[in-house]
Structure 1
Amino acid sequence: MESTIALKLPGFWELHAAVWFAQSESQFALRHIKADETHFHHVVSALNAATASRVLSLLRSPPADDKYGALQRLLLGTGLMEDIMFEGNQSLPPNVFLLAPIFHEPASIRPWAFGVLFVIYLVTITLNLILILIILCGKKLHKPVYIFLAQLLTMDIVGCTTIMPRLMYSISESIMITKPACFIQLFFVSFTGTMQSYILSFMAIDRYLAVCHPLRYNVLLTNSRAHKVILLPVCWSSLLAGIFLVLLIGRTFCKYPEIHKVGCINMAVAKLSCEDFTINSLYGIACTSLTTVSLIVVVVFTYTRILYVCLHSGPSSKGNRKALHTCVTHCLVLSLFIFSIVFALISLRMSSTNYFPQYLQHVSDSLFYLVQPLANPIIYGLRTAEIRRSLTRFTNVRIFQNKIISWHRYPDPQSSVLKQLNCVSDE
C-alpha cells in the first residue's frame, strides 16, 4: 500500500520550483505512488515555513479533487507567486529583495488592508503635525521639555513614513524592493530608533532638573541648549546607522531573498548573505544594548531621584502633583517604546524558529512602526494640560479670526439699515 512506502522529499527549492517538482514526480513514479492526496501531503511536508504561509489558504481549504495539481500551480506561479515570478523565468531579477507578504491572502482583503493602513498613517501624521504646530506657535510651550517633545514627534513622522508607504505599496502592488531602496529604509529605521532612545533620555533628564533643581533649571537647561544638545545624538545616530550599511553593502546575497519583516532591518537582510554574518549580529546587539541600556539607566536614576524628592517634600503639594503627573505621562511613552524594542528583538532573534509564528512578527513590527507613532501624540495631547490649553486658544483664535473676516466680507444687512435710518433722523 502507498501508506507503507517510505519517501522523504528534499526541501522545496523556491528558486527552482519547476526542477523540484520534476524530481519529486520521478520519486513518486519510482515508488509507484499515484494517489493525488498522497502527492499533496508529501509536497506539503517538504515546504518551509515561509512558503507554507504564502499558500496557507489552500492548505487550510484544499479542493475536493486535484489537490496536488492546485498546489503545484500555485507554487509555480499561477496564484500568489505570480507577484514575484516572471513569465518563462523562475528566477528573480538581480539586486531585489522580497518583503513579507502581509495581507496577501485572500486577495479580496488587500484593498481593505490598504485602506485601513492608509487611514492610520494619515491620522498618525496629522496628529503629530498638529502637536508640532501647537508647540511652534504657542509661546508658552517654548520650553526645553516641549522642544524635546517636538523632536520626538518629528522622529515618529520620519520612522512611520519610512515604513508605512512601502508597506502599503507591498499590499497593493508588489512585495519586491530594490537593494538601494532597502538599504535606505534600513538606514532610517536604525537612525530613528536610536534618535528616539536618546530624545527620551533627554526628556527624563529635563524632568529630573525641573523637579530636583528647580532654582537652577532655567540656567542649566535653556531653550538654546535644548536645540544644540540634539545635534550630538543626530551625528551619533547617523554614524551607527551608517556602519550598518557599510557592513552590508559589500556582501553577496545568494540565499532566497525574502525578508520576513514588513521592512528592511539589519539582521533580516544580513541573514540572506553568503558570508558569515556574525559581525553584523554582534554589532547589532552592541548598538541596541548601548542605546537601550543607557536609556534604562538614565530613566531609573532620574525617576528614582524625582520620586525621592517628591515623597520627602510632601506629595500632597500642587507642584509635586504636577511633576508626578508629567512623569507618569513620560513613563507611559517610555514603557511603550521599551516594550516595542524588546518585542521586536525577540521577534527578530526567533524568526527562524517554529516557536514564533509569522503573525507575531507582524504584531511586533506594528508596535514599533505603527502603534507607537500614533500613541505618542495622543498620550501627550490628552495628559498635558498646557498642550490642551494651547490647542484651545489656537482653535478659538482661528474661529474668531474667521468670524472677523466673514463679517468684513459680508456685513450684517440689519446694521446697514440702522445706519441709514440714523442718517435720515439726523437730517
Structure 2
Amino acid sequence: MESLNISECGSYQDNQTELRVTGRADTAGYLFHALIPYEPVVPVLAVVFVSLTLFSFVVNALTLYLIESSDDLSWQPRFILCENLILSDLLQTTTFGPAVIYSLIRGQTMACNPWCYIQYIVGTASIFSSLSTITSMALERYLYVCFALRYLVIVTRERLSKVLALIWVYSISMGITNIVLLLHSGKEEENHHVVMGLLCEPDIMEQHMGSPRAPAIFRKVLGPFTLLLCLLAHAFSYYRMYQNASNAVEPFDEVNHTARRTVMFYLGMLFLQLLPLLIKVASDFLPESRSPGVTELSSQTQGGCKHTLSAIAAGFHVSLLILLLVPPCVNPLVYGLRSVEMRKALADLLRWRGDNRVAAEPAVEMIRQRNIVHNDLAEAG
C-alpha cells in the first residue's frame, strides 16, 4: 500500500501554531474514522478495552498478592517465574490498555511524541519477556517432573536469578535495538505529527518512519525465531512430561487420562497466549493485511484529504490490539490461580478475613453497649 504525506491534511490558519495544532487534530480524526468507519462500534470497543484492562489489573494484582503473602509459595521457583510473568503482563497492560482507550475516547489516532517511542520499547520488551518467561516455566515443570530427585540441585536460587536477568536483558535489548534501527534507518517527514493507528506498534511505526528495511528485517527474523524456540521448548517439555506420566501407569495397562487432559489444556492456553504473535507473524507475510495505510487523497474534502484504508489491514490492526490484552488476563488464571497451592492460599486468605470479621463482632458489640451505658449515666447525671 502506498504511503502518503499526511502533513498535507489539515486546516490552514493565519497563526502557524494554531495551524499545527488544528492540522494535527484534524488529521488524527480523519485517520481514526478511516480506521473505524462505523461510529457505533467505538463505544463497544471502548467497553471491551476498559473491561480487559481492569480485569487484567485485578487478577494479576490478586495473584501477586497471594504469592507474596504466602511463605509456602514465595520461595518456589515455579511461582517466582509466575511473579515475573505477572510483572510482564502488568507492563503490557499498562502500556497498551490506557493508550488505546484514550485514542478511542478522543476519536483520534496516536500522536507521535516521546511517549510513542517509550510505548514501542516497553511494549516490545514486555511481550518478549512474557514469551521467554512462559518458556522457562515449561522447562521448569519438565525438570520438576522428569528429574524430581535432582530438581533442587539443578534449579537453584542463583541459577533462577540468572535466568530472570537474562530474560529481561534479552527483552529490553530487543525493544531498544528495534527503536534504534528504526530511528537510524527511517526518517520522519516534516510536520508528520500522528501515526496511522490506535497504538504505536511495530508496523505502524515502520510505516510512519518511511518503511525502512533494516528494522523490518530484524523484527521479522528475531520475532519468528523466538516464537519457534518457544514452541519447540513447549513441545519437548510437555511431550517428555506426558511420556513420563504414561510410563507410570503402563504396568497397570491403563491410560493416564489426567495427564492427557492436563497437557491438552496447557497447549490450548499456550495457543491463546501466542495467538497475537501468530497473527502478527502471519500479517507480516501478507501484504494486504499489513498496517493501515493511506491509499487515496482528495483535495475536495474538508481539510484537503480523504483517507481510505484497507479493510483487511484495519481489521487486523484492531483485532491485534484486542488480542494483546487477552494473555495478561488469562496468564494469572492458568499459571497461578489454577494451581492447588494458589487455590489453598486464596481459601486461607478468605477464611482469615472471615475469622477476623467474626472475632471483631463481639468487640464491636461490647463497645456499643459500653457507649449506651455511658450515655445513660451521663443523662442521669
Query: Is the aligned partner of 1:345 residue 2:281?
Result: yes
Match of 1:152 in 2: 85
Match of 2:141 in 1: 207
Query: Is the aligned partner of 1:252 residue 2:222?
Result: no
Match of 1:400 in 2: 355
**Rounded Cα–Cα distance in structure 2 between residues aligned with 1:293 and 1:107:** 39
Shift of 1:293: 1.6
Query: Is the aligned partner of 1:293 residue 2:228?
Result: yes
Question: CA-to-partner distance for each residue in 1:349-374, whole Å, 9 max, x for gaps?
Answer: 5325958342233112211x221111
The answer to whether the 8 A contact 1:259-1:269 is kept is: yes
Match of 2:340 in 1: 385
Shift of 1:284: 0.4
Shift of 1:116: 4.1
Shift of 1:169: 0.9
Amino acid at match of 2:53: Y
The answer to whether the 8 A contact 2:112-2:193 is kept is: no
1:352–1:108 distance in 2 versus 1, CA, 3 Å? closer
Amino acid at match of 2:219: G
Shift of 1:132: 1.0
Shift of 1:227: 3.7
Q: 1:231 aligns with which of 159, 162, 165?
A: 165
Match of 2:49 in 1: 117
Identity of aligned pairs, percent? 20
- Partner secondary structure for residue 148 of structure 2: coil
Amino acid at match of 1:204: A
The answer to whether the 8 A contact 2:203-2:291 is kept is: no
Amino acid at match of 1:366: I
Counting matched residue pairs gives 335
1:215–1:382 distance in 2 versus 1, CA, 3 Å? same
**Rounded Cα–Cα distance in structure 1 between residues aligned with 2:165 and 2:313:** 40
The answer to whether the 8 A contact 1:99-1:177 is kept is: no
Match of 2:32 in 1: 101
Question: CA-to-partner distance for each residue in 1:402-426, whole Å, 9 max, x for gaps?
Answer: 2223332333989xxxxxxxxxxxx
- Partner secondary structure for residue 230 of structure 1: helix
Shift of 1:130: 0.4
Amino acid at match of 1:347: S
**Rounded Cα–Cα distance in structure 2 between residues aligned with 1:234 and 1:303:** 25
Shift of 1:398: 1.5
- Partner secondary structure for residue 180 of structure 2: helix
Please report the RMSD computed on the Cα atoms of aligned residues, expressed in angstroms. Answer: 3.6
The answer to whether the 8 A contact 2:242-2:263 is kept is: no
**Rounded Cα–Cα distance in structure 1 between residues aligned with 2:311 and 2:103:** 26
- Partner secondary structure for residue 114 of structure 1: helix
Match of 1:364 in 2: 320
**Rounded Cα–Cα distance in structure 2 between residues aligned with 1:196 and 1:153:** 8
1:221–1:327 distance in 2 versus 1, CA, 3 Å? farther
Shift of 1:313: 2.3
Matches within 5 A, 1:403-418: 403-411=358-366
Q: 2:70 aligns with which of 133, 138, 149?
A: 138
**Rounded Cα–Cα distance in structure 1 between residues aligned with 2:164 and 2:20:** 54
The answer to whether the 8 A contact 2:111-2:193 is kept is: no
Larger mean Cα displacement after TM superposition, 265-274 or 104-113: 104-113
Shift of 1:322: 7.0
Amino acid at match of 1:305: R
Q: 2:217 aligns with which of 275, 282, 301?
A: 282
1:109–1:166 distance in 2 versus 1, CA, 3 Å? same
The answer to whether the 8 A contact 1:99-1:259 is kept is: no
The answer to whether the 8 A contact 2:224-2:281 is kept is: no
1:213–1:381 distance in 2 versus 1, CA, 3 Å? closer
Shift of 1:378: 2.9
Larger mean Cα displacement after TM superposition, 344-353 or 213-222: 344-353
Amino acid at match of 2:228: V
1:212–1:98 distance in 2 versus 1, CA, 3 Å? farther
> Which structure has the larger Rg?
1
**Rounded Cα–Cα distance in structure 1 between residues aligned with 2:142 and 2:278:** 25
